Amino acid sequence: MKNIRLFLIPIFSILSIYAYGQSTDERLVQAINSGAWHKVRSLYVTEKESLQTPFLHPLTKFFISQFYNQPDSAIYYGATLLNEYNEDLGSSISSVVYLMASDYAKMNDYKSATDILNKYNEAVKAAGMQPDVSFVAVENQYDAIDKKGGFMMSRPNYEVKVPLKYHNTRENPVMLFVEAKLNDYKCDVTYDTGAGANIISKQLADKIGMNICDFQGLNLNNGLNSSTSRFAILDSLSVGEIIYKNVPFQVIDFYTGNQKADSVVDKMGLQCVIGLPMMFPLQEVVFDFENGYLKVPGKTTPKPAFAPNFYNSGENSIILSLYDLQSDEWIDAFVDTGASNTMLSAKYYGRNKLRFEGIEPTDSVRMAGLGGVKITRSIPYEWHYGIDKATIYKDTVSVAADSEQNLVDQYDCFIGLPTLVQHNRVTINFKEMWISFSDALVSEE
């Protein structure tokens, strides 16, 4: 069963601001409100001198820093917004606080992350209201990690190579695994760029003796269904020579209630997912599909001219700016090694309906994860794409032809494992936010 995907979208509340009447300001505000962070960055870099609204300068710098992995700058501009533009922010203060807390956590300052959320939650209580349950949950989680001494990663200063494993094969991949050691227990874990958090099944958490915290977890949404997790901290996790301490995990039930989907979960042994929180500290990873290794270089690769070309979205996802040859436009692609198919979304279908006029959907795609299954009508499509306009790749993908959109469809497409493995190497640099494909098996010059 190829079309099982599992990804994670934590709680995020986007700022709501209003246009002020100037054309550049309006376009920037529209891009911010739609979460088009590639466009936000491009507009600000090229047209910041023409902005008429002072508030937009720190606000835009805050977002660019936030989504392009500059947590120290995001904290600085977030503090500027809270201290100097409190009235302009209005009800969006909560979003700035939430994101600043996540920035402190990225810098391993879990005490400050806890404190900023605690002050906000207490202020809400003092005003006679109940704090948002997700804010309380995240405060409790940061506090628990802080009391354990913080999340830590150590690795040698030379290249680390970890064998990649597939279910099934590179030619027919459904899921990607690496061998890991959880405390003293060895098992295969999914290495998932589409997971915004580390997740583990309740069965495995109990088996290895993880202490599950008694406070409420997060509401996790995969675009198909939502469920409330529990929270636990794993003392030690190692992947090859990379060692993590005090690793935060969301504990959930991996079963969907769909017999066919659940049989695949059992067959794969899917019980643990390593997500982006464990990848970002490595600064760079290389999926060497040609030689069958996950590689972490001793030194990061020099930044290419096209960098940055992806951002870390509000849902904690990797969103790549991809060139779509058919529309001659740059589109947003969710890069997900945990997805067993590649698909152009209902959003893409809606924007390009004329291209598909008169073509009836002949296929269906099944997607599953976090207790939900959805079957989508689709059109098979020969797609040409690239990370630049110089080298174009081709792939046969599905186009979601259902008019109903959901969280899966907020981007133009998602790039799953079958497409990624067609490239001999895929490099993801988290330090300077770029992705490159090399030696594609199906490239066209």
pLDDT score for 111 = 98
pLDDT score for 235 = 97
Domain boundaries, the chain: 23-147, 152-296, 310-444
Q: What is the DSSP letter of 265?
A: H
- Two domains, one topology: 152-296 and 310-444: yes
Let me know how long the chain is.
445
Indicate the pLDDT class of residue 215, thresholds 50, 70 and 90: confident
Q: In whole numbers, what is the pLDDT of the chain averaged over residues?
A: 87
Q: What's the fold here for domain 310-444? A: Cathepsin D, subunit A; domain 1 (2.40.70)
- Percentage of the chain exceeding pLDDT 90: 64
SS3 324: strand
Closest CA to 117 of 107, 108, 106, 105: 105
Indicate the pLDDT class of residue 140, thresholds 50, 70 and 90: very high
Report the C-alpha gap between 207 and 272 in whole angstroms.
Answer: 12
pLDDT score for 7 = 35
Q: Is the pLDDT assigned to residue 408 strictly greater than 50?
A: yes
Cis peptide before 198 (omega within 30 of 0): no
Q: Is the Cα torsion angle 50, 51, 57, 62 positive or negative in sign?
A: negative
Q: What tens digit of pLDDT does each residue of 177-210 get?
A: 999 999 999 999 999 999 999 999 999 999 999 9
CB contact at 8 A, 138 and 115: no
CB contact at 8 A, 317 and 194: yes
pLDDT score for 8 = 36
Determine the straight-line distance between the first and last CA of the chain, rounded to whole angstroms: 33
Q: Is the pLDDT assigned to residue 272 strictly greater than 80?
A: yes
pLDDT score for 370 = 52
Q: What tens digit of pLDDT does each residue of 293-349 get?
A: 999 999 999 999 999 999 999 888 999 999 999 899 999 999 999 988 899 998 999
pLDDT score for 60 = 96
Indicate the pLDDT class of residue 5, thresholds 50, 70 and 90: very low
What is the DSSP track for 170-224? SSSEEEEEEEEEETTEEEEEEE-TT-SS-EEEHHHHHHTT--B-SS---EEE-SS
Which strands sit side by side in the sheet containing 434-440, from one edge to the other?
Answer: 160-163, 293-296, 284-288, 423-429, 434-440
pLDDT score for 267 = 77
pLDDT score for 182 = 98
Q: What is the DSSP letter of 131?
A: P
Report the C-alpha gap between 384 and 225 in whole angstroms.
Answer: 31
Q: Is the pLDDT assigned to residue 167 strictly greater than 70?
A: yes
pLDDT score for 3 = 32
Report the C-alpha gap between 272 and 199 in whole angstroms.
Answer: 6
Q: Is the pLDDT assigned to residue 288 strictly greater than 90?
A: yes
- Percentage of the chain exceeding pLDDT 70: 87
pLDDT score for 77 = 98
Indicate the pLDDT class of residue 445, thresholds 50, 70 and 90: very low
Half-sphere exposure (CA, 13 Å, Cβ side) for 69? Answer: 24
R_g of the chain, CA atoms, integer Å? 21
SS3 138: helix
What is the DSSP track for 21-84? S-HHHHHHHHHHHTT-HHHHHHHHHHHGGG---TTHHHHHHHHHHHHTT-HHHHHHHHHHHHHH
Report the C-alpha gap between 25 and 18 in whole angstroms.
Answer: 10
CB contact at 8 A, 239 and 172: no
| Overall average pLDDT of the 142-161 stretch | 97
SS3 279: helix
The CATH code that applies to domain 152-296 is 2.40.70.10
Q: What's the fold here for domain 23-147? A: 1.25.40
pLDDT score for 34 = 85
Indicate the pLDDT class of residue 268, thresholds 50, 70 and 90: confident
Burial class (CB in 10 A: 0-12, 13-18, 19+), 57: middle
Indicate the pLDDT class of residue 375, thresholds 50, 70 and 90: low
pLDDT score for 265 = 75
Higher pLDDT, 373 or 23: 23
Q: What tens digit of pLDDT does each residue of 84-125 get?
A: 999 999 888 999 999 999 999 999 999 999 999 999 999 999
Indicate the pLDDT class of residue 356, thresholds 50, 70 and 90: confident
